[in-house]
Structure 1
Amino acid sequence: MDDHENEKPHRDPDGNDPTGRPRRFVSLRRAAAGSPRAGRRSGLRRIGAGLALLVVTLTGVLLGLLAGGHVSTDIGPFQARLSVSPSVNGSTTVDIPPLGALLLDSHDGPTRLTVELGALDQGRTEALIDDPASINRATQSAVDDVREGVLRLGLRTVGATVLATLVLALLAFRDTRRAAWAGALALAISAGSLGTAAATVRPQAIEEPTYEGLLVNAPAIVGDVRKIADDYGRYAEQLQRLIGNVTQLYTTVSALPVYEPEPGTTRVLHISDLHLGPAAWQLIRTVTEQFGIDVVIDTGDITDWGSEPEASYVGSISLLEKPYVFIRGNHDSPRTAAAVARQPNAIVVDNTTVTVAGLTIAGIGDPRFTPDKSTSPASGGLNPSTADILIDSGETLAATIRSSPRPVDIALVHDPASAGPLSGTCPLVLAGHTHDRRVNTLPEVPGEQPTTLMVQGSTGGAGLRGLEGEEPTPLAMTVLYFDQDKQLQAYDDITVGGTGQAQVNLERTVVQPPTPLLPPTLSPTPTPTR
């Protein structure tokens, strides 16, 4: 036997092992390694590691949803955005800005699908008009468009959540094994949630939507939706006419003749009664750019109910990049006026005057707030008390104009019933409210220049009300041309849609200069004879 085998481990005289640690400590440590307390600590460490892994995974899934849980897709002629988000109860939300949303109890599971309809695509919309049969194909292909978009959304969401979780786990743990576990767990969570939604889809949910926002106050639209199943053919024809009117904004407005005024002419675009019309802003932007508009004047009723959800509609004002002078209509609340005033290029006038593009403009908001009342002349006209309120409003503005340090070029009222007291205070009064364009001269005041009243139609096609008839209400606006002396020289009345064969019409009127007032003639005083 080798002598080295019989050698015992060397210890120093104090009884320490070769590492220098006291022998009794080594024995205690070995004994503690197998104790129950050590087992509990080991179990707690495993639980803590598992919880940390779960927290990192859930955080990665949420970050992945925020970063990649959305896709853009085409649904018929619309550009749409699909997104998925966590939810206690599975559902689908169809956002139709600015009208509101449809809520569908479409599936189960912890995911919510949001479909936000955006702008109309010009090319696809034109194709619908060129081929009458394409409207049927478009409605059929819309289902396939949604299905394809949802499939791409699911794949993108799963990929984004797994990738975000892997990156976060590597940063948190600096361990590829634990990062792989986190990625696998993220795949199970995201794929399982989306799989549950797909397995529990209820197609019949489209027949029982819950309405939010302005759609709650739109019985005409809700009624049309309910009629689709009973009279789909008639609905498709109405939809085709509506899309035809919208398409004309893109295809024929660009061919409108442009009035060539003298240098120094100020161009004003008069609009009114948009009533949340979805096609109005595109037409306004087109005319503003093509006609070189200097200032836009809006004589009220930009909204329908003056509610908070409608405030987003006025955000398009800033896109015009031109001064925008606004007075409140009877459908506009103080909240609406405040939303308009927040736009960087907007000016809200209410019994005040402002000078814009060299024109001095005075205006006053409608004294009423009656969003539940019809504006059509057939609704019964004005009762005496309402007429008195409107006339008082006009007299208030007339007093403001007379006290203005600068002569007023244009006065603004919403209801033409307020215009009477303004006769003789300024050359031109602009109004709206009736959805019926007309031009007339106010009763003259002796010794004062005549005052012209121009009442605008509805630039928004009367909003939702314009869809109640067999044909949509025309979209109306007017371009006014003022010379260097701020005198109205001509105006172009533009009408789009709802006119049968002629979808777009422009009628130019040249204004005859007013006859200057002559000083009163004095009869010669006879010379007394002696």
Structure 2
Amino acid sequence: MARAPTQLQALARRLGTAAPRARRVLTVLAVVVATVGGGTAALAVHDRTARLSVGEIRMSLSPGHRGALDLYVPLVDWGVRYAAIRLPARLEVDLRTVDRDAARRVAEAGRLDAHEVQAEARDALAGYLRGSILIAVLAGALTGLLVALAVRSRNGPRLRWTASLAAGTAVAGGILLVVLLPPRGALDRPQYYAFGPDIPRALSVLSDAQRSAGVLDQELDAQLVGLARLVVDPARRTSLGGARRLTVASDLHNNVLALPILGRITDGGPLLFAGDLTDRGSPLESNLLERVVHLGRPFVFVTGNHDSDLLARALARRGALVLGRFGPLGRDGRPRPGSRRDPTVEVGGVRVAGYGDPFVRLRSEGYRDRYDDGGPSAEDQQAFADWLRPLRGRVDVVMVHEPAMLGIALRELEADPPRRPLVFVVGHTHAAELDRPGDRVTVLNGGSVGAGGTGNLAGDPTAVGIARLLYDAGRRERFRPLAADLVSVDPGTGSSTARRERLDVPVERDDDAPAATTATAPAPAPGER
């Protein structure tokens, strides 16, 4: 019995020793958190307005976002985003006003002194960043000092230590901002975005741009009064003015509501449709969708796993270019004479071939779903690679519905790169993607133009997706892909994003990262195939 009080006394002594230690740790944490929080809050509330020769810009920072530089124009509701900041913060530059005289000079002369404006913008941005970093350091140090004063106690760390901790944390944060906050590297991968009440308005910029000299960036240059030229040097790249273009779409899934949008984007030009025009390929759907052949001149089609042999023949009779492993179908539903030796067709100066989906639905089997959830087998992939091998050097664009069909072929192209550019147009995944396994190989997926279609309304929300391929092709210039535009629109809100990937520049590779491959792309959920 005498030992129990002794044990209790020892426990009390240990608790008495631990309590001050815990208090000191909590005091240090409170000072550090307050310093970081004060500096972050200062970054969020600090903004600056600068006057340039072309107008007035407002600069601000939004911590907590994926690092990016945003240039936005509220007047036209369009912006451009560059992933050029390594800090988790978004540096936003909004064009608030446009100088009337500057706009008149641009309209009359048709050009802008981009170097002068670029220097003005760079100085304004550098001044804003310097001021933001200084304010963040001072605000963080002051907030940390106030917390150190508030939590000081007789048993806690001394005030001079906590004050030094606040100052040191603020200075370390300032150094981190100096290293990570300013935009770094080439701003060469813009992502365009907009907010609109409906799909037609969100996509109307593409329709307008098609009537101009170029697509997307030329239209935005005009709207932003040269703002995009503040950060992009056009002399470094081949001009896209006058470039030829192909519209790329897939996975309509019987959603006839999307046909006017598709017609507007194509605007009478060539349309490459990479499968899944329908849900079952039944006669009813074929009658409803045969009018799609008039949306492209020509309308080029390969079957998907939701299409049927009946649909393919019906489209061929109406004048569509229905491509398969044995070449285009004639109006009688059979491959054209001689196409087994050369299954390619010329579309807009480009040699195009197509490979029908191995899971296409058959009329003789009642249009049942033949799709295997495991995707194309190794035998299917090998058959495609064998079919493609003799076409290398003679074909520019190859259309295939499912990206996984490319597995073996892409590995062969990686081991033995082609001498001429080769573009694969695919679909099936309902996700807009662009993959470049090599400098001369591109895999382009426009997403789902039908937003998942009437057969997938119960699945996850799917964006409307359309792509466009810009290229050179002529007597002197063989097929040379220049850029790809990928447009995605939320059908519920009308919010849209558009990004451009240049294809006439070498692929940037991380030596430590494995080579990209489309063969392992995940298949969509069963309700979204």
Q: What's the TM-score bracket when you normalise by the shorter of the two chains?
A: 0.3 to 0.5
Give the TM-score taking structure 2 as reference length. 0.43
**Higher RCO (CA < 8 A, seq sep 6+):** 2
| Bigger radius of gyration | 1
